[in-house]
Chains A and B, each alone.
Chain A
Amino acid sequence: MYWLASGLLYRRVVSPFTKLDPRIKLLIAIEFFVLSLLASSVIGVAIIIASIVAVAAFARSLRRVGRTVAFSLIFATFIFVLNLWIGLGLLRSLTFALRFIAIIGSTSIFFITTSPDELEQIMKWMRIPRDVVFAFVTAVRFIPVVMLDAFQIMDAQKSRGLELEKGGLLSRVRNLIPVLIPLVVNSVIRSGELAEAMESRGYGSTPKPTSLYGMRLRWYDKAVLVLSLAVFVLALYIYHFYTFPF
């Protein structure tokens, strides 16, 4: 459980990729995302997955992206079986399943290599209202805290004889109630406390607060920007005009 959840969290890793301007990382993720949607053959999607793996390795986050992808395999298998069952054929079903994995990989590469601070900067750059940005970034930042709460609650309830993995599907869902209620209650209490603490430290006192850090494209970012756009256009061309054997 912890193994899975930790795959979704941001952890600071120093690599040439993580040092990129967050907008460039977002662009690369979007490019992968678009190509995953366009690719309509097994080989086409497999090439994209291989490229994502290469970028993840370059970002020194291969293991963490791998964890997220490993989790998505459950859903990918479901997609594969469902498509096969409705008669789409082996190759198309496999393409859909792989496409799902590629989409998960492309988005996780962005979230795993981008800190909540960088997310905040991107959203501000997109002129999203400050309160919305703050709410979103706080939610992301609090995932580890809520996760820790969830583990502690599970421990407390297991110590009272609750067996989370016992019984059929329905009783397993029912078993989650003693975990979910304290989790929600704690989160609501914490959000109230956080709001008070923020207000006590002057949040909202000025309509246009200044930023400690700003985003600036360096030569390195610009070079990656040009390169990624060139590869993207080339890939678009290939995917549009070339038909892969399967």
Chain B
Amino acid sequence: MTFVHQNGVKALDGVSLTIEKHELVGIVGENGAGKTTLVRHINGLLRPTSGSVLIDGADARGTSVAKLSRKIGIAFQNPDHQLFSESVEHEITFALKNFGFDDALIEQRLNWALDFFGLKEYHKSSPLILSGGEKKRLTLASILAWDPEVVVLDEPTVGQDAIQKAKLLEIARTLHSAGKTIIIVSHDVEFLWSLQPRLVVMKRGRVVEDGPCAVVMQERELLEDARVSQPQLVALYESLSRRPASPFQDVSQALSWVSGERR
């Protein structure tokens, strides 16, 4: 599919991508590569100029954003662009009311979200007084509360400290093992490396590489060309492998060694 902005800039240029159910996909690429534009097509916020978006095999063209969003939850980068309610619990239940959930289910989903995202103690507080990390978790809570099948996280780690990042990593892992399809747009290669998703590399509106994270992250020249840095571990492995007595045969061996050391 192709998408051309109103000012004539071609943001997506012949992108063809299939994401299966329960997949964990990371999308990387330089600023302006078209990553966010691509994910905005998934729930119909943007419609392709040519080509089509198929959700469960059906063309999304005639389906409203609200209807598509019931299936696909997108957590945007900046929590301040969505938080508006007088309390955390109202923020979480906002979408549930929009989607017409009954009161009992709203109550149940609210309690789950407050528990899962560690927000119980703030449930009556204003979202605006929360810290950056808490706001980020509230944004996720307000989306996961309606239990979408697909979760899209746009730059989830921006402005998050190490502890918050670790929490986000844990959340992503839990959601994926619970059977959700997860799509993560990020510049944070270390975060993606920890999740080992299928990795899609974008450059100037095109998909230039698509494959397992451990394999794609070794393609130094391609990544440099797309202005994506390699994870430190891969860079370390590469410099070690240039020495005669390298302790590892390949990067996955190095990865399992590091994981073992951490444990």
- CB under 8 Å from chain B, chain A span 131-156: 149, 152-153, 155-156
Closest residue to A175 on the B side, CB-wise?
A: B98
Closest residue to B95 on the A side, CB-wise?
A: A160
Query: B117 CB to closest chain A CB, in angstroms?
Result: 16
Question: Does chain B have a CB within 8 A of A185?
Answer: yes
Query: B188 CB to closest chain A CB, in angstroms?
Result: 21
Could you tell me if B43 and A159 are in contact, using CB atoms closer than 8 angstroms? yes
The stretch that binds A, out of B14-22, B78-86, B209-217, B250-258, is B78-86
Q: Which residues of B contact A163 (CB under 8 A)?
A: 64, 66, 98
CA distance A159 to B40 in the complex (A): 9
Could you tell me if A182 and B81 are in contact, using CB atoms closer than 8 angstroms? yes
Question: Does chain A have a CB within 8 A of B205?
Answer: no
Query: B114 CB to closest chain A CB, in angstroms?
Result: 17
Given contacts A2-B6, A3-B6, A155-B40, contact A161 B80 (CB under 8 A): no
> Is chain A's interface secondary structure helix, strand, loop, or mixed overall?
helix
How many of chain B's residues have a CB under 8 angstroms from any CB in A?
26
- Of A149, A161, A182, the most chain B CB neighbours within 10 A belong to A161
Could you tell me if A155 and B76 are in contact, using CB atoms closer than 8 angstroms? yes
Q: Which residues of B contact A223 (CB under 8 A)?
A: none
Question: Does chain B have a CB within 8 A of A177?
Answer: yes
- Of B45, B83, B84, the most chain A CB neighbours within 10 A belong to B84
Question: Does chain B have a CB within 8 A of A158?
Answer: yes
Query: A153 CB to closest chain B CB, in angstroms?
Result: 5
Query: A243 CB to closest chain B CB, in angstroms?
Result: 46
Given contacts A160-B69, A162-B98, contact A189 B40 (CB under 8 A): no
- CB under 8 Å from chain A, chain B span 132-162: 142-143, 146
Given contacts A155-B40, A155-B76, A178-B94, contact A161 B84 (CB under 8 A): no
Could you tell me if B142 and A160 are in contact, using CB atoms closer than 8 angstroms? yes
Could you tell me if A152 and B78 are in contact, using CB atoms closer than 8 angstroms? yes
Q: Which residues of A contact B64 (CB under 8 A)?
A: 163
Question: Does chain A have a CB within 8 A of B128?
Answer: yes
Could you tell me if B45 and A161 are in contact, using CB atoms closer than 8 angstroms? no
Q: Which residues of B contact A159 (CB under 8 A)?
A: 43, 45, 65, 69, 73-74, 76, 143
The 0/1 profile, CB within 8 Å of B marked 1, for residues 157-189 of chain A is 111111100000000000001100110011001
The 0/1 profile, CB within 8 Å of B marked 1, for residues 80-102 of chain A is 00000000000000000000000
Query: A160 CB to closest chain B CB, in angstroms?
Result: 4
Question: Does chain A have a CB within 8 A of B220?
Answer: no
CA distance A60 to B146 in the complex (A): 50
Query: A39 CB to closest chain B CB, in angstroms?
Result: 36
Given contacts A159-B73, A161-B69, A185-B128, contact A153 B6 (CB under 8 A): no
Q: Which residues of A contact B84 (CB under 8 A)?
A: 177-178, 181-182, 185
The 0/1 profile, CB within 8 Å of B marked 1, for residues 176-217 of chain A is 011001100110010000000000000000000000000000
Query: A174 CB to closest chain B CB, in angstroms?
Result: 12
CA distance A178 to B99 in the complex (A): 15
Q: Which residues of A contact B74 (CB under 8 A)?
A: 156, 159
- Of B65, B70, B95, the most chain A CB neighbours within 10 A belong to B65
Could you tell me if B98 and A160 are in contact, using CB atoms closer than 8 angstroms? yes
| Residue among B6, B82, B99 making CB contact with A161, cutoff 8 Å | B99
Given contacts A3-B6, A155-B40, A178-B94, contact A160 B80 (CB under 8 A): no
Closest residue to B97 on the A side, CB-wise?
A: A161
Query: A107 CB to closest chain B CB, in angstroms?
Result: 25
Query: A41 CB to closest chain B CB, in angstroms?
Result: 39
Query: B68 CB to closest chain A CB, in angstroms?
Result: 9
Q: Which residues of A contact B45 (CB under 8 A)?
A: 155, 158-159
- CB under 8 Å from chain A, chain B span 185-199: none
The 5 A-B pairs with the shortest beta carbon distances in the complex, nearest first, are A161-B98, A181-B84, A160-B95, A156-B82, A158-B65
Sample of 7 more A-B contacts, CB < 8 Å, known A6-B6, A158-B66, A182-B80 = A155-B76, A159-B73, A160-B69, A160-B143, A163-B64, A181-B84, A185-B80
Chain B residues with CB under 8 Å of chain A are 6, 40, 43, 45, 64-66, 69-70, 73-74, 76, 78, 80-84, 94-95, 98-99, 128, 142-143, 146
